[in-house]
Amino acid sequence: MLRPVPDVLEVLAEPSRRRILDALREGELPVGTLVDRLGISQPLVSKHLRVLREARLVWARERGREWHYSLDARPLAEVYRDWLESFAPYWEESLGRLKRRVEEGDS
């Protein structure tokens, strides 16, 4: 039986996972480099990478004796498109109210 894909927002709730994704925005990195940058143990980095892989936020490939990880931002784009974008009218309305208040204060 296939395991369900974890909810992206739940996965991103963990600060270390967000730090890993931030580091991978630069490009593909080996696990050892992630360990050094995050300052946490290799087993803990590997645990977070497994969760990120299950959420399809990163992919891995073996290069020699090391595993290298890359960011896959497509699930983030889906969260934006399917959920966050629905808040755009609220943000636009709020910004419009702020703009009107600022302009009224200048008169």
Cα–Cα distance, 31 to 20 (Å, whole number): 10
Please give the pLDDT value at position 5. 58
**Tokens at residue 18, please?**
């967000």
- Topology of 1-72 in CATH? Arc Repressor Mutant, subunit A (1.10.10)
pLDDT digits (tens, 9 = 90+) for 8-59: 999 999 999 999 999 999 999 999 999 999 999 999 999 999 999 999 999 9
**Domain residues of the chain, as ranges?**
1-72, 74-107
Please give the pLDDT value at position 64. 93
Q: Is 48 exposed, middle or buried (0-12, 13-18, 19+ CB in 10 A)?
A: buried
Percent share of the chain, pLDDT over 70:
93
Distance of CA 50 to CAs 5, 6, 44, 66, 69, Å?
A: 12, 11, 10, 15, 11
Q: Is the pLDDT of residue 106 over 80?
A: no
Predicted confidence band of residue 2 (pLDDT cuts 50, 70, 90): very low
